[in-house]
Amino acid sequence: MTDLDYESFWKETLVQLRNDLGEEEFSGWFSDMKYLRAGENSIVIGIPSTFHRDKVKTRYQNVIESKLEEFSGSKFNLELEVIEKKAEKKEKIVTQPVKTEEPAAEKKQKQKEKRDKHPQMRDDYIFERYVKGENNNFAANAAIAISKNPGKAYNPFLIYGGVGLGKTHLMQAIGNFIHENSDNRVICITSENFLNEYLDGLGQNKMNVFKNKYRQTDVLLIDDIQFFTDKPGVQEELFHTFNALLDAKKQLVFTCDRPISELKKFSDRLISRFELGVKADLQPPRYEERCAILKTTAQARGVNIDDEVIDMMSKNISSNVRDLISALNNLIAYTELMGKPINVETAQRHLKNIFNAYRQTNLSMDNIIRVVSEHFRLTPNDLKGKKKSQNVVFARQLAMYIGREMTDYSTTEIGQDFGGKDHTTVMHSIKQIKNKLLTDPTLETTIESLKRSIKEFSAKY
């Protein structure tokens, strides 16, 4: 076999790995690898760092060798060779094509053809900048399908989840794609601004203007609909706008910080309309996804960051995407202003306080369960299991209540941490504790004591 044959086997293996692992995990570990050469029974692949090499060996070597054998019919050993960064950088400079000035007439024509940026949306909130992972794969795939065929399927579409998980990014990516690739009219607005326009329409006797604006659009995107809680007037108007657009097969996309069923003082018939469509729950990103997010963001900023720094930040900041990117931007700004390199030492020193803050505030349900179970002399498995003895049920309900009080987790997320229990079970447990608080004056003291213990425990780990 020729060297070209071996390289083709490697390329086929990459295609299969991309399909099996998903874009985010694949790009995080394989996008910087390159075929170098082949030996008698081996294939040598270039990799950017020793850290990267060690991680790939541990996680993927057996899988890669198995796929190479599948494609070639022969058994190969995978050898990973660290590429010197200076040499790689030098090579890129040599092979970089010379830019030529685009003819003025052609440039002007392209600018004319390209649609102007949508005034209500961020132009960096696009699908190319949205890192897909296990936490958001369903939501992202649904969003892409909607953007290509608005109003035809997955309508209405509700994206819900905690703070900073990418709900607004995904919603606006839908809007930007439709705006860029069609003549459809797109309105993207926060629920607060929608409410303000509604009140202005009422106050100035111009409700017909308000209704025409929203009921004649092709795509309506509304962010943070939980803001409409306990506001029956605007809920009524949204209900009629919802019906008008749905009947006309226009696309509706909404975001919310919790499942629609958990919204209090929200119109039952409006909730029933949301239940008609597709709902996507965004979860906090896993380690591999956090690595991919940091790499993608750094590349977009034109900054090279060592894998060791990526690893350290991903392990220390696990709350949400917003916190992760904020820390990265903070580090980049510091190194640019101070003329320092981005390395482990600089990151550790500059982000130390940020890491400590997240360790104290990023409370996990596992920590809450552990502290509560120890307080009642039970085990975490008792709380996560199906035991129904009175002391276990009470401790379980109390842990669920404290979890809802101290974290941004939805009842669905909390239920998953208690052995996959349904969110209605969590809601019932929270209600039971609230009722007990009305009749047992000592329970509040117990809860506050447990909260302090949970914070102290979380700060240590």
Quick: pLDDT tens for 266-295.
999 999 989 889 999 887 787 888 898 899
Task: Based on the fold, state whether residues 278 and 135 are members of the same structural domain.
Answer: yes
Sequential DSSP letters for 405-435: HHS---HHHHHHHTTS--HHHHHHHHHHHHH
Containing domain of residue 9, as a range? 3-92
Q: Quick check: is 142 in a domain?
A: yes
Task: Based on the fold, state whether residues 330 and 256 are members of the same structural domain.
Answer: no
> What CATH number does the domain containing 338 carry?
1.10.8.60
Among 69-73, 243-247, 282-286, 333-337, which range has the highest average pLDDT?
243-247
What is the tens place of the pLDDT at every residue in 397-456?
999 999 988 887 888 889 989 988 989 999 999 999 999 999 987 898 899 889 878 877
pLDDT above 70 (res 96): no
| pLDDT score recorded for residue 111 | 44
| pLDDT score recorded for residue 192 | 94
| pLDDT score recorded for residue 359 | 52
pLDDT class of 117 with cuts at 50, 70, 90: confident
The CA–CA distances, whole Å, from 232 to 110, 237, 268, 269, 440 equal: 47, 9, 11, 12, 34
pLDDT above 90 (res 314): no
> How many angstroms separate the CA atoms of 313 and 13, rounded?
30
pLDDT class of 101 with cuts at 50, 70, 90: low
| pLDDT score recorded for residue 24 | 66
pLDDT class of 98 with cuts at 50, 70, 90: very low
Whose CA is closest to 311, among 46, 14, 58, 40?
58
> How many angstroms separate the CA atoms of 96 and 107, rounded?
22
Task: Pick the last residue of a domain from 257, 282, 307.
Answer: 282
DSSP state of 94: H
Task: Based on the fold, state whether residues 182 and 318 are members of the same structural domain.
Answer: no
Task: Based on the fold, state whether residues 276 and 402 are members of the same structural domain.
Answer: no
pLDDT class of 1 with cuts at 50, 70, 90: low
> What total number of domains does the chain contain?
4
Q: Which residue carries 């995990």 as its tokens?
A: 25
Q: Quick check: is 105 in a domain?
A: no
pLDDT above 80 (res 262): no
> How many angstroms separate the CA atoms of 254 and 160, rounded?
8
Report the alpha-carbon angle 75-76-77, nearest 5: 135
Task: Based on the fold, state whether residues 147 and 277 are members of the same structural domain.
Answer: yes
Task: Based on the fold, state whether residues 169 and 264 are members of the same structural domain.
Answer: yes
What is the tens place of the pLDDT at every residue in 191-240?
999 999 999 999 999 899 999 999 999 999 999 999 999 899 999 999 99
Task: Based on the fold, state whether residues 274 and 305 are members of the same structural domain.
Answer: no
Task: Based on the fold, state whether residues 50 and 155 are members of the same structural domain.
Answer: no
Lowest mean pLDDT among 54-63, 103-112, 287-296: 103-112
Q: Are 347 and 92 in contact (CB under 8 A)?
A: no
Burial classification of residue 452, based on how many CB atoms lie within 10 Å of its CB (0-12 exposed, 13-18 middle, 19 or more buried): exposed
More confident residue, 359 or 229: 229
| pLDDT score recorded for residue 132 | 82
> What CATH number does the domain containing 131 carry?
3.40.50.300
Task: Based on the fold, state whether residues 242 and 332 are members of the same structural domain.
Answer: no
Task: Based on the fold, state whether residues 177 and 146 are members of the same structural domain.
Answer: yes
Q: Quick check: is 310 in a domain?
A: yes
Give me the mean pLDDT over the 357-373 stretch.
77
pLDDT above 70 (res 109): no
Task: Based on the fold, state whether residues 381 and 314 are members of the same structural domain.
Answer: no
- C-alpha gyration radius of the chain: 26
Q: Are 283 and 165 in contact (CB under 8 A)?
A: yes
pLDDT above 90 (res 241): yes
| pLDDT score recorded for residue 141 | 93
Sequence-ordered list of residues with C-beta below 8 angstroms from that of 174, at least 6 positions apart, any chain = 143, 146, 147, 150, 157, 219, 221, 251, 253
Q: Quick check: is 12 in a domain?
A: yes
Residue-averaged pLDDT of the chain: 85
The token duo for 169 is 């990014």
Q: Quick check: is 205 in a domain?
A: yes
Whose CA is closest to 422, among 412, 430, 431?
412
Task: Pick the last residue of a domain from 219, 252, 282.
Answer: 282
Percentage of the residues of the chain whose pLDDT score is greater than 70: 89
Task: Pick the last residue of a domain from 282, 302, 323.
Answer: 282
Task: Based on the fold, state whether residues 134 and 241 are members of the same structural domain.
Answer: yes
Q: Give the DSSP H/E element, type plus range, for residue 45.
A: strand 42-47
pLDDT above 70 (res 91): no
pLDDT above 90 (res 66): no
3-state secondary structure of 81: strand
DSSP state of 385: S
Three-state secondary structure of 198-222? HHHHHHCCCHHHHHHHHHCCCEEEE
What is the tens place of the pLDDT at every residue in 132-189?
877 788 999 999 999 999 998 899 999 998 778 889 999 999 999 999 999 999 999 9
> What CATH number does the domain containing 420 carry?
1.10.1750.10
pLDDT class of 108 with cuts at 50, 70, 90: very low
Q: Is the bond into 284 cis (omega within 30 degrees of 0)?
A: no
